[in-house]
Amino acid sequence: MSGPELAIGLCFATIAAAWALLAIKGVLDERQLGLTSAGALFFVGAEILATDSATGRAWINGFGYILLGVLAVAGLVGYVRTRYVGVLAVGVIALATVVPQAVIDYTNGALGAAGALLLIGLSIVGASLVGVRLRSTSRHPDRPDSGVEVPADL
């Protein structure tokens, strides 16, 4: 990749971070949409950086993977704090993407197609388990535990 792709990836990530900050601060009316959109935009920017294949610039790939990891953690922690499913989806997708992509990239494809497919499947299952666990254990203070009343004699 040439210089414009690096600039584009950094611009996407910067705009997404600003967008998320505006959503958190309440400047944007639709907080959930703002956070989910910012996460998707940040994912695109970090992915552009992580897939930069210019020779002599391997640090850009590492920086892209770090940004994807930060996005995964931010999405999962953000879900626990906000209970927005879109934020959880961004975190799970980032987690399911960054792990196999980084391993395949840094091993130069030594795993082969079958090993890469297995790693991708395990990453998706692991990310899904984290998402389900977070969804089942976190309770937002403004919402009841469940919407169903269970009779005492059952």
- Tens of pLDDT along 102-111? 888 888 878 7
Q: How far apart are CA 120 and CA 114, in angstroms?
A: 10
Pick from 66, 64, 86, 78: which is nearest to 24 by CA?
Answer: 78
- 69-83 pLDDT per residue, tens: 999 999 988 988 888
- When mean pLDDT is compared across 17-31, 89-103, 136-150, the lowest value belongs to 136-150
Whether pTM exceeds 0.85: no
> Has residue 51 got a pLDDT over 60?
yes
User: Distance between terminal CA atoms of the chain?
Assistant: 64
| Contact in structure between 134 and 154 (CB atoms under 8 Å) | no
